[in-house]
Amino acid sequence: MKKILITGAGSYIGTSFENYMKKFEGEYQIDTLDMLDGSWREKSFSGYDAIFHVAGIAHSDSGKISEEKAKLYYSVNTHLTVETAKKAKQDGAGQFVFMSSAIVYGDSGKIGKEKIITKETMPSPANAYGDSKLQAENGILELQDGCFDVCVLRPPMIYGENSKGNYPTLAKLAKKMRVFPYVKNTRSMLYIENLCEFVRLMIDNRERGIFFPQNSSYTNTSEMVKLIALANGKKTRLVKGTAWMLKILSPFTGLVNKAFGNLAYDMKISEYKENYRVCDFEESIKRTEGNNNAC
């Protein structure tokens, strides 16, 4: 039986992973650890095959942030991550799996501007959040040696039932609007159960290095809104020829490019030797909207 410790109790990803692993009864022991105060330092990480580190401050800002908020990003996303990894190594844990983000490559490409990330694309954070994640990656990868494996995940936007961020905002619009602008864009996304299966395989195979999990197909924002509406028994008509209006709005709000901009991984860098895509995109939308059983 593999022993896994989730550092970051109560997080969406950590809780989803813990629930997902219940289907493998008897194969894994999953423990969680609250990182909100310093008491976590008293727990021994000895005996754990993997530490799955999901504790962090999520990115919810548009535009400039205060110096205080920037310091918080580095304190939690960088320094806490590195400290946790050092403790994992010192206590004899075998592997450290870290949830980074595609945000290390900067913001989404603007409407009409392609942004495809390949293996050769260098990280270029556009804000303190992205840089705090990249600095954490650099700090923990230095700890890797013959006995301690570091596995960094750079997923794109994660969605699923009860997820936060851009998806629920779009879902609200899909349920209310009977017409919606059609914009031709390409985005990588990752359904939460696909992520959970990927993490399980990373731990089973004790992988090390940087990985780029994503769904098996790209997402178009407008088509996704249409699918969300259908999953809720509604119909949304997509209206072409409206991209120019959104382009005019984009300099005044970062939400436009977040929703309709382009940000995608080259599919080749997301392939893995075992299948982790337990749900296709259409099925994942139904599941996210609570209209289907788990994949």
List, in order of start, the domains of the chain with CATH numbers: 2-288 (3.40.50.720)
- For the chain, percent helix, then strand, then coil, each to nearest 5? 40, 15, 40
For 170, the token pair is 């779009």
Picking from 30, 23, 37, the residue whose alpha carbon sits closest to that of residue 2 is 30
pLDDT score, position 106: 93
pLDDT score, position 107: 87
Asked if 173 and 236 touch (Cβ cutoff 8 Å), the reply is no
Residues 6+ apart with CB under 8 A from 64: none
pLDDT score, position 249: 56
For 48, the token pair is 């754990």
**Where would I find the H helices in 185-220?**
192-204
**Angle subtended by helix axes 281-288 and 221-231, to nearest 10:** 50
Phi, psi of 71 (to 5 degrees): -60, -35
Q: What b/e readout covers 78-91, taking b as 16+ CB neighbours within 10 angstroms?
A: bebbbebbebbbee
Mean pLDDT of the region 137-151: 97
pLDDT score, position 247: 64
Mean pLDDT of the region 210-216: 98
Mean pLDDT of the region 177-206: 95
Task: For residue 152, give the H/E element and its range.
Answer: strand 149-153
Residue type for position 230:
L
Rounded to two decimals, what is the model's pTM? 0.93
Binned at pLDDT 50, 70 and 90, residue 63 comes out as: low
Asked if 211 and 202 touch (Cβ cutoff 8 Å), the reply is yes
The string of pLDDT tens digits covering residues 23-52 is 999 999 999 999 989 999 999 999 999 999
Q: Return the sign of the alpha-carbon dihedral for residues 166, 167, 170, 171.
A: negative
Mean pLDDT of the region 60-76: 81
Q: Residue 253 pLDDT > 60, yes or no?
A: no
pLDDT score, position 149: 98
**Angle subtended by helix axes 166-176 and 221-231, to nearest 10:** 60
pLDDT score, position 105: 97
pLDDT score, position 69: 86
Q: Lowest-pLDDT range, 82-91, 201-210, 234-243?
A: 234-243
Q: What is the DSSP letter of 263?
A: B
